[in-house]
Amino acid sequence: MTKISNNFLLEQLQSKFGDKILSYDEPHGMLTVVADPSINIEILEFLFQEPQLQYQFLTDVCGIHYPDQDLPLGVVYHLHSLANNHRVRFKFFLPDHNPHIRTASQLHAGANWMERETFDFYGIIFDGHPNLKRILNVDEMEVFPLRKEFPLEDPNRIDKQDKFFGR
């Protein structure tokens, strides 16, 4: 069995996907790859099916919002190769006006609820998802509360004023 390293994995990805791998970094030793969102499923399938890699455990899918970037919304996938005891993170950035990316729920059944939660809080649409609807917020909600254009606290709440805390 080949010992998986960040360099080995990055070489595999770059040889397979070329310029669709946009950038990479290694914060805290975990390889983090930013790739073109049009190939998200191809990357996940490659990592899942490649015998040397075997990234078959989807640890997490979540959304991110960086409003100052050209493509402010993102989907983050954390994958783990149990066979190699190695983790990797992928980021796919999307526009905020029409954020579409393909669902991973056919490859990883656990993606189903995580993608629904990401849709619910960020408004990212997972094309092909079998039941993409809100999972925690009310169906009538028209906003996506984890986008940074919404304040974390209601400024009208009086119970959060400093005078009540001796400040």
Q: Which two tokens stand for residue 38?
A: 């049009």
Give the number of domains in the chain. Answer: 1
Residue 10 counted as domain residue? yes
Using a pLDDT cut of 90, give the percent of the chain over it: 84
Q: What is the CATH number of the domain that holds 129?
A: 3.30.460.80
Whether the Cβ atoms of residue 80 and residue 55 lie closer than 8 Å to each other: yes
Instruction: Note the pLDDT of residue 165.
Output: 72
Instruction: Note the pLDDT of residue 163.
Output: 74
Instruction: Note the pLDDT of residue 151.
Output: 67
Instruction: Note the pLDDT of residue 111.
Output: 98
Banded model confidence at residue 66, pLDDT cuts 50, 70, 90: very high
Residue 63 counted as domain residue? yes
Residue 124 counted as domain residue? yes
pLDDT tens digits, 88-125? 999 999 999 999 999 999 999 999 999 999 999 999 99
Single out the residue of 104, 95, 91 nearest to residue 23, CA to CA: 91
Q: Which two tokens stand for residue 129?
A: 């998802």
Banded model confidence at residue 27, pLDDT cuts 50, 70, 90: very high
Mean pLDDT of 67-76: 97
Average pLDDT, the chain: 93
Residue 56 counted as domain residue? yes
Residue 1 counted as domain residue? no
Its domain, for residue 86, covers 6-165
Q: Tell me how far the alpha carbon of residue 76 is from its chain's centroid.
A: 2
Segments of the chain assigned E as strands:
21-25, 31-35, 57-65, 73-81, 86-94, 100-102, 125-127
Whether the Cβ atoms of residue 73 and residue 144 lie closer than 8 Å to each other: no
Residue 132 counted as domain residue? yes
pTM equals 0.89
Residue 35 counted as domain residue? yes
DSSP string, 105-146: TTT-TTHHHHHHHHHHHH--EEET-TT-S-SSS-TT--S-TT
Residue 156 counted as domain residue? yes
